[in-house]
Amino acid sequence: MIMKQIRVLDVTLRDGGCVNNFNFGTTYMHQILSAQEMAGIDVIELGYIDANKGSESGRTQYCSEQVIPQAILQSKKSGVKYVAMIDYGKYPLESLQPRTETGIDGIRLAFHKKHVPYLVEAGKTIMEKGYELYIQPMITLRYTDAELLNLIHLVNDELSNAAGFYIVDSFGEMRPNDMSRILYMVDNNLIPSMLMGFHSHNNLQMSYSNAATMLQFPTNRDLMLDSSIMGMGKGAGNLNTELLLEHLNLYYGGQYKIAPLLEVMDKVINQLHSEFYWGYAPEYYLSSANHCTPSYASHFYNKHMLPIDQVRELLSMIDEEKKISFDKEYAENLYRQYNESKQVDDSTLKEEMSKSIGERQVLLVAPGKSVLENREIILRKMAEEDVVSFGLNMTQLPVKYVVATRKDVFEQAVSDAYSVITTSAITKGIRGKVRILNYKSWIEVDEQTHDSSFVIIMNFLKACKVKRVCLAGLDGFSSNINDNYCEPILRRPVTEQQAEQRNAYYKNFIAKCRQEGMEVTFITPSKYE
């Protein structure tokens, strides 16, 4: 195999953009592009074209192909091809303007199996405009052998002038035996003039291995492998460009330059990685094991309410037709269905707690970092005769009750012999001093499910006619993981957007409680004040 038969397509500006909502900013966009060009990348994917979500500048999700030259492609390096991706149905292809010398050279058309009947018309429209066409059947493993062969024959007959046909491992679930089988099928049936490409995700950490399998495959056909700098991409990320280029230099006569990539990793990609995490995580492995988009795994895991084994259970419950594309409303309904499957009658508990608290003030102690600095203040408040104290998923102070909505905290609190209040989503039976609230009765539901210990206990206290609540350790969320929680075991990464959304929700929730007649005060600093 000679080097000209192997090409590298870098997807950092497109697949990497799924990490940060494509908000690279003009400076980072140009720095990444420059590094790709200096490294000698063969094909550079500049981003998505999306009529509804695209922008004119500053992002790599463009409102049309016409804005790309001004947004990023002010000049083109000789010998490099520049492409963009369109998800079928996200851009009216009749709006494409004819290819120009200063614009992109090709379009990668991504489509689901249900869109195959529309592929020929869409592909011909793109090629008639002068663009190279790369055919990207998403989640290629979802095709049966017969369906994949039918697709290849359709491409051979109707789109024979396309530049390339791809094997796409959208969920990062392919293993080398899958790779070998599909490579053989595509190579032996696709017309010889068309290159064969591979796009992978790294959920099972198999991207590099699968790429090596493709490179070793005995064929005279041109090959193209997708990768991104430092593997930047949604969820577990993609095949690392720097690793692929090094491999090609070592074994396939490549002349790629690694230094420009290392520099942009140091100056740009590392900064993005610290703010927008991607890379291997158990939830991404589970998404591959359950053959679904990793967006479901991220959604359930990022609630930080379920242990990983229960996330696995939830993923196994997803309907087959829903696995391909993330549906937030469906995910929320499934999450509630899972947690609401265990129901209890907690009316007796409500009566008990109403009598126990009476006219006294309730102190809710959340596990924010401010607890560490204000421990003595909280202990003094807790010691007042007129106060009944509750710890919210925390057992670091001698509270009267621990409200445990996380399984790990629940088990620790029971082990430490606290008086525990939990929900029907955590346990089916009563053990020791455990009191159980009916999960469904006390959560809040809007576009998503709010089932934190704070929301549940506040709604319960309102039903118990509690009039005065004092809050401690309810600090609010920060995108800096080290600013959240006094116990490291509770810390989970949240993005800036997630932090802002959660802070806004809780601030509004507290305001609503006050409007309903509850006196709510703080004794430690909070973003909710």
**Confidence label for 341 from pLDDT (cuts 50, 70 and 90):** confident
Q: Is 18 exposed, middle or buried (0-12, 13-18, 19+ CB in 10 A)?
A: buried
Give the 3-state DSSP-derived string for 393-450, with helices as H, strands as E and coil as C.
CCCCCCCCEEEECCHHHHHHHHHCCCEEEEECCCCCCCCCCCEEECHHHHCEECCCEE
Per domain, the residue ranges of the chain are: 7-275, 291-340, 347-522
Residue 433 scores a pLDDT above 70: no
Residue 168 scores a pLDDT above 90: yes
**What's the CA gap between 197 and 166, in Å, rounded?**
4
Q: Mean pLDDT throughout 20-31?
A: 96
**pLDDT value at position 186?**
98
**pLDDT value at position 485?**
78
Neighbours of 64 (CB within 10 A): 16
Q: Mean pLDDT throughout 320-337?
A: 93
Q: Lowest mean pLDDT of 65-79, 156-170, 392-406, name the range.
A: 392-406
pTM of the complete model: 0.78
Q: Mean pLDDT throughout 417-438?
A: 80
Q: What is the percent of the chain with per-residue pLDDT over 70, rounded to a whole number?
A: 97
Residue 105 scores a pLDDT above 80: yes
Residue 319 scores a pLDDT above 80: yes
Superfamily name and number for 7-275 = Aldolase class I (3.20.20.70)
Answer yes or no: are the C-beta atoms of 475 and 527 closer than 8 Å.
Answer: yes
**Confidence label for 107 from pLDDT (cuts 50, 70 and 90):** very high
